A = this chain, B = another copy of it.
Amino acid sequence: MAPRSPARTGRPRSAAADAAILEATRAALVDLGWSKLTLGDVATRAGVAKTTLYRRWAGKNELVVDAVAALFDELELPDRGSLAADVEYVVRQFAALLDRPEAKTALMAVVAESTRDEPLRARIRDSIVDRQKRLVLVGRARAEARGELPRAQGAQDAARSADLIFDVVAGAVVHRMLVSGQAVDSQWVHGLVALLAGGLPSAVSPLPSDA
């Protein structure tokens, strides 16, 4: 009755090993960064043989995607009472995540690798990117309920605009922190929120600082 897995014989894979490897990968990312991380070192840290690691992941890219994906699932969006507050909350949360060294060094690196590796791109999309779009959908649904935003006209338009908002918000934070190399401070967050609320005209006007 139960759809048994195709191979049922042999010694089963150690579940503990998977967890140890992913944890060791994150630790190694913190200590060494992406480019100096070696799978041999990860295996040693995890108390595992290199072969065990290669049995489960095709290479460094895939391993790091899995190791980092879990971090992104920690993001959440409680109701802060208004669209602006929700946006501010999620932006700060995302910035805090990108401030963690393991996320910072790994995210751009695997994205860079994915430009020449379609399966990797798909894995990143499935494990990391698409899962965070839920935050946009939740936020928008609340804003619609509050009357802050008009209701989407159709499913396709809804998806399209969600993608756009996601790219703008996530892209802005990533670019600010990793490309421009500057902190996501209150001033910048308030500027972004203003821009999202009212477009460029709102963004260029000075804002009351709260710092």
Q: Which among A108, A113, A124 has the highest number of chain B CB atoms within 10 Å?
A: A108
Are B116 and A204 in contact, with the CB atoms below 8 A?
Answer: no
A198 contacts across to B, CB distance below 8 A: 198-199
Whether, in the assembled complex, A54 has its beta carbon less than 8 Å from a beta carbon of chain B, the answer is no
Chain B residue nearest to A197 in the complex (CB):
B199
Chain B residue nearest to A162 in the complex (CB):
B204
Decide if the interface of chain A is mainly helix, strand, loop or mixed. helix
Tally of this chain's copies: 4
Q: Known contacts A149-B201, A180-B125; decide if A115 and B171 are in contact (CB<8 Å).
A: no
Chain B residue nearest to A202 in the complex (CB):
B199
Are A35 and B113 in contact, with the CB atoms below 8 A?
Answer: yes
Which positions 100-126 of chain A face chain B at CB distance < 8 Å?
101, 104-109, 111-116, 121, 124-125
- Among A15-23, A38-46, A184-192, the one that faces the other chain is A184-192
Which positions 126-184 of chain A face chain B at CB distance < 8 Å?
129, 140, 143, 148-150, 152-154, 157-158, 160-161, 163-168, 170-176, 178-182
Q: Which among A106, A158, A176 has the highest number of chain B CB atoms within 10 Å?
A: A176
Are B157 and A167 in contact, with the CB atoms below 8 A?
Answer: no
Q: Known contacts A176-B171, A199-B199; decide if A204 and B125 are in contact (CB<8 Å).
A: no
